[in-house]
Amino acid sequence: MENANIWWLLIPILMLPIFFAMGWFAARVDMKTVLKQAKTVPTGFYNSLDALVDKNTSRAARNLAEVVDQQQNSYDLNLTLGKLYRQRGENDKAIAMHQALLASPDTVGEKRERVLYELGLNYKSAGLVDRAEQIFLELKNGNMAKQANELLLHIFQQDRDWQQAIETAKLLAHDEQTYQFEIAQFYCELAQAALFQSDFQTAREYVQAALNANKKCTRANMILGDIEQKQGNFQAAINAYSAIEKQNYAYLSMVGEKLYDAYDALGKPQEGLNVLIGYSKTFLQLDLLNVIHEKSLLLNGESVANQTALELIRLKPDLNGMYRLLGFQISTLNPLWKNDADMMRGVLAQQLQKSRMYRCRHCHFKSQVYFWHCPACNKWETFTPNKIEV
Ligand SMILES: [Zn+2]
């Protein structure tokens, strides 16, 4: 009986070499399979890869299409070839490829969502935004939810559908990217539209929502100032515009004239002018010279206005200052010099037009007009609030 027990214990030890042999054999078989598969990768696949490295997408698409023809029902290759067609602007081919893949009975679950997402991108790229939107809406709760919602956010902004944009941005918000900056701007768009329709109560609610999302939103205070101004609450308008100083003083130049108008409406234009002069001396980057000179001319006449502007120009000499300065001196110049001074001023004006602009800090798009939403890179509040020499 004891001997039998010892044999039972020895069996696993005796079996060890057999287990090793089986493992070695299994590994050999596996390696052989891998090597065999590697040898069966079609040459066209490598050619396509090589063309991609050379950034020749036309050759890459041609080679990959040949591989796809040989290897029917290859999900990954079909998906990639479709993407390549889209990248080349061949949207119709990309759509056909991904639609065919979608029709395959094997394309289910996660695979189906992936193809749908690519198809949505094809439609968007082809300008068929409604179809793209439908697809991304279908995907917004599945595995591709994040990517689908990011594209929906882009589409809603293009369509100026700010309510949907707010809801989508809230869905996408997480610790690293809160979207509070964008959400505040979406509320400002709604507030602006309500103000345009003189729906002051709704406009106020959206302004408050914008400030709740981003308390540094200068645009919200600008709109609030405009609401107060339109409703005849001039002191409240002054308070709203002035609050921008604490949010981001660089934006004060955008309300310079409105601030003066509110003081003027209260019968205190000189006080308003002094506030602007104070801002200009404290924050040299502010673009307030023109409005200060214009209002000073109205209130105090040419001599005082020129003197005030001259002080500001000397604090920050620039192209615009030089242009103004020459204008002040022209009437006092010797007639022999006057024509030349006029010519110089004309050259400066041309140069000002060409080189003094707002510029997007993100993509460097330049414009004579200020945009809250960069038309080139779609970022919000990236434009310099003062024109700069570019
Ligand atoms: Zn930009």
- Measured CA to CA, the distance from residue 2 to residue 9 in angstroms comes to 11
Q: How confident is the model at residue 1, as a pLDDT?
A: 46
Structure tokens at 357: 């602009």
Tens of pLDDT, residues 330-347:
878 888 888 888 898 999
Residue 271 CA to ligand 1 center (angstroms) comes to 37
Q: What whole-number percentage of the chain has pLDDT above 70? A: 88
Q: Which of 50-59, 84-93, 96-105, 378-387 has the lowest mean pLDDT?
A: 50-59
Residue 358 CA to ligand 1 center (angstroms) comes to 11
321: which residues sit within 8 A by CB, 6+ positions away?
A: 289, 312, 313
Torsion of CA 33, 34, 36, 42, to 10 degrees: 140
149: which residues sit within 8 A by CB, 6+ positions away?
A: 136, 140, 168, 171, 172
Residue 353 CA to ligand 1 center (angstroms) comes to 20
Q: What whole-number percentage of the chain has pLDDT above 90? A: 59
54-82: average pLDDT: 75
Residue 221 CA to ligand 1 center (angstroms) comes to 23
Tell the residue number behind the tokens 């110049």, with chain if given.
333
User: What protein residues have CB closer than 5 angstroms to ion ligand 1?
Assistant: 360, 362-363, 365, 374, 376-377
Residue 384 CA to ligand 1 center (angstroms) comes to 11
Tens of pLDDT, residues 11-39:
666 666 666 665 565 555 455 554 555 55
Residue 378 CA to ligand 1 center (angstroms) comes to 6
pLDDT at 108 over 50: yes
Residue 36 CA to ligand 1 center (angstroms) comes to 51
Residue 331 CA to ligand 1 center (angstroms) comes to 42
Residue 154 CA to ligand 1 center (angstroms) comes to 15
pLDDT at 48 over 80: no
Q: Which of 39-43, 105-109, 382-386 has the lowest mean pLDDT?
A: 39-43
Residue 382 CA to ligand 1 center (angstroms) comes to 6
- Measured CA to CA, the distance from residue 192 to residue 227 in angstroms comes to 9
Residue 31 CA to ligand 1 center (angstroms) comes to 52
pLDDT at 70 over 90: no
Are 109 and 143 spatial neighbours (Cβ–Cβ below 8 Å)?
Answer: no
Among 92, 156, 175, CA closest to 126: 92
- Measured CA to CA, the distance from residue 275 to residue 225 in angstroms comes to 16
Are 114 and 102 spatial neighbours (Cβ–Cβ below 8 Å)?
Answer: no
Residue 208 CA to ligand 1 center (angstroms) comes to 27
Residue 29 CA to ligand 1 center (angstroms) comes to 57
Q: Which of 54-63, 117-126, 208-217 has the lowest mean pLDDT?
A: 54-63
Residue 366 CA to ligand 1 center (angstroms) comes to 9
pLDDT at 373 over 70: yes
Residue 373 CA to ligand 1 center (angstroms) comes to 8
pLDDT at 248 over 70: yes
Residue 35 CA to ligand 1 center (angstroms) comes to 50
Structure tokens at 240: 């709203």
Residue 172 CA to ligand 1 center (angstroms) comes to 22
> What b/e readout covers 65-89, taking b as 16+ CB neighbours within 10 angstroms?
bbbbeebeeeeebbbbbbbbbbeee
Residue 380 CA to ligand 1 center (angstroms) comes to 8
Residue 374 CA to ligand 1 center (angstroms) comes to 5
Residue 371 CA to ligand 1 center (angstroms) comes to 9
| Neighbouring-strand partners of residue 359 | 366
Residue 363 CA to ligand 1 center (angstroms) comes to 4
Q: How confident is the model at residue 247, as a pLDDT?
A: 97
Task: Provide the whole-model pTM.
Answer: 0.78
pLDDT at 370 over 60: yes
Residue 316 CA to ligand 1 center (angstroms) comes to 27
Residue 90 CA to ligand 1 center (angstroms) comes to 27
Among 103, 124, 126, 125, CA closest to 115: 103
Residue scoring higher pLDDT (91 or 64): 91
258-281: average pLDDT: 98
